[in-house]
Amino acid sequence: MLLIVGLGNPGEKYAGHRHNIGFMAVDQIADAHNFGPAKSKFNGMARDGLIQTNEGPKKAIALKPMTFMNESGRSVQKAAQFYKIPLEKIVVFHDELDLAPGKFRMKVGGGIAGHNGLRSIRQHLGEKFHRARMGIGHPGHKDRVHSYVLSDFAKSDADWVNALLDACGRAADLLVTGEFEKFQTKVNLLAPSPSSKPQRK
């Protein structure tokens, strides 16, 4: 079983924020594969279901911690303990300032670049979980980071955001079979970031 975690803040006013792209990704994966309805558990909202793969159906849990970002680890730890899911079977989708908008990279462990959600998970569980890093770009100065991540995506971002979310859903079979590099490759193939596309003259 795979635990697919999306990071974000609960509540309608945060729903469209850059910081909530992790929530958006797990919603898309769960919707694309007809997971069951969301249930309030583990200090979060959890949906479970099956993802069809070449190896047959694989069970997965999609979890959105409802603790606010800086306490995400409490929710993830509860779910992991309940289902006895090891760290290497946990994938966390989150916004990544250090990647250009639309770029997507998988990573295990390493620096967290001040991300409070990742810090909380690391404190509760350790650092060797898989990270699905969803590039949102950097506002240019550290003083602007807080307001940048806690504001909605620009309308001009809609195309690449929707494409990236859709790609995560369509490639999820590779996620549950543990083919993380192939998952990264397929997501980038289905949804190339705006910065990687040739510019029109």
CATH of residue 191's domain is: 3.40.50.1470
Residue 141 located in a structural domain: yes
**How many structural domains compose the chain?**
1
* Mean pLDDT in residue range 116-120: 94
Q: Are 182 and 174 in contact (CB under 8 A)?
A: yes
pLDDT band of residue 139 (cuts 50, 70, 90) is confident
Nearest to 22 by CA among 109, 135, 126, 189: 135
Residue 186 located in a structural domain: yes
pTM beyond 0.75: the answer is yes
Residue 127 located in a structural domain: yes
The one catalytic residue in 17, 19, 33, 130 is: 19
Tell me the C-alpha distance between 190 and 129, whole Å. 24
Q: Where in the sequence is the domain holding 141, given as residue range(s)?
A: 2-196
* Mean pLDDT in residue range 28-38: 98
Q: Are 99 and 105 in contact (CB under 8 A)?
A: yes
Q: What is the mean pLDDT of the chain?
A: 94
Active site residue 19: yes
Residue 199 has pLDDT above 90, yes or no: no
Residue 139 located in a structural domain: yes
Q: What is the share, in percent, of the chain residues with pLDDT greater than 70?
A: 97
The structure tokens listed for 98 are 């250090």
Residue 196 has pLDDT above 80, yes or no: no
Residue 96 has pLDDT above 70, yes or no: yes
Residue 31 located in a structural domain: yes
Residue 201 located in a structural domain: no
Residue 151 located in a structural domain: yes
